[in-house]
Amino acid sequence: MRRTVVTRTGLSALLLLGTWAAVGLAPAAAASPTPAPAPGVTAGLLSAMREDLGLTESQAKARLAAEKTATAVEGKARRAAGSSYGGSWFDAADNTLAVAVTNEDRADAVRATGATVRVVKHSARQLDAAKSRIDALDAPDGVSSWHVDPKANRVVVNVVAAHQSDNDVRDFVARARQAGPVTVKETAEAPRTFAAGTVGGDPYYTGNVRCSIGFSVYGGFVTAGHCGQAGASVSGWDGSYIGNFQGSSFPGDDYAWVNVGSGWWTVPVVLGWGAVPDQLVRGSAEAPVGASICRSGSTSRWHCGNVLAKNETVNYSQGAVHQMTKTSACAEPGDSGGSFLSGDQAQGVTSGGWGNCGSGGETWHQPINEILGRYGLTLHTA
């Protein structure tokens, strides 16, 4: 069951013997994550951004620098907007953070933080309340997901194209529109989780399921909840015993953590699979909507995309999962639980999506800071 050989040096050599991914934030009682340091701009990372995002090398470098600034500005801009805050997103067209406000009187204060301003009708609080009312509805299989879109200033309900005329889908959409400002969009396929049956050369197994390690925490690693229930035994790529699921939640949430022992240990590294150098994890500052993001998984390995939405409710066949982040990075079965990174900052663990890395698609992750706060874990950082 040995994985395909990938040349590694330095810290990456540890990955063959231990957990290879690692991040998160401090327990719920701890302080907020520190601002992200400058991301390591390597040739491999720039190559991945060229391939997956269509950027030149200079564009990729400029975007990484601008995204770091936007991440630092977002909290200040939200505080400046106050109750007028309508959401924010990274605007890749001009490499700035855009902030929506309902009261133009707050615009100058928001601009003073370095953000651009859009005046909108609905506040983020109003949109979140509308989404919460939709969360309480029973969604049919033909409804893929729903989330607040700050740029559109509406709640977006995604419907699978082949099911948009189904009576139960039309009824759900009608009830959703009663909850608040709603826009309906089509999606190509229904979401599914990315676990897979046992095959050789993969990071970890539980029963006949293969998944991917997310991020190292002190004492173990975090991953997807649908990969195993609490108490389930976990073995590594070489078949040796790692530990057990200490906590797991799915559906509703999609996160879990596994203790590490028996000769395994944790390191603050995410595997680059030879596409990029193995990545050090230095924190868990959350990237804004519109920022670039990359993910690592045991099937499709390393791919990049953009953050499309936050706090999206995903309607899997097993049940709805809340507070997910949607991205345009592709994934495939076996990638579940794997790492999402923005620069050197942990973002979350892969949950599911639709499509594949040949034809494209979308993927959701469960935010890392929520997982760490839920279980009182501390991210292992470099």
Residue 123: active-site member = no
Strand, coil or helix: 178: helix
Cis status, amide bond into 37, omega within 30 of 0 = no
Please check whether residue 333 is in contact with residue 361, taking contact to mean a CB–CB distance below 8 angstroms: no
- Amino acid occupying residue 139: A
Q: Measure the CA–CA gap between 225 and 351, rounded to whole angstroms.
A: 8
Residue 336: active-site member = yes
Catalytic residue chosen out of the listed positions 52, 149, 202, 254: 254
Residue 182 vs residues 125, 140, 176: alpha-carbon distances, Å: 15, 17, 7
The residues facing 184 across adjacent strands are 157
Strand, coil or helix: 116: strand
Catalytic residue chosen out of the listed positions 336, 339, 342, 351: 336
Let me know if 217 is exposed, middle or buried by CB neighbors in 10 A (0-12, 13-18, 19+): buried
Q: Which residues contact 165 (CB under 8 A, 6 or more apart)?
A: none
Looking only at the bridges linking them, the beta strands covering 96-101 and 116-119 are parallel
Backbone angles phi, psi at 159, to 5 degrees: -120, 135
Q: DSSP 3-state helix, strand, coil percentages of the chain (rounded to 5)?
A: 25, 35, 40
Catalytic residue chosen out of the listed positions 122, 226, 303, 380: 226
Residue 168: active-site member = no
Q: How many CB atoms lie within 10 A of CB 105?
A: 9
- For 239: left if phi > 0, alpha if psi spans -120 to 50, otherwise beta; the answer is left
Q: Measure the CA–CA gap between 258 and 321, rounded to whole angstroms.
A: 20
Q: How many CB atoms lie within 10 A of CB 351?
A: 31
> Catalytic site residues?
226, 254, 336
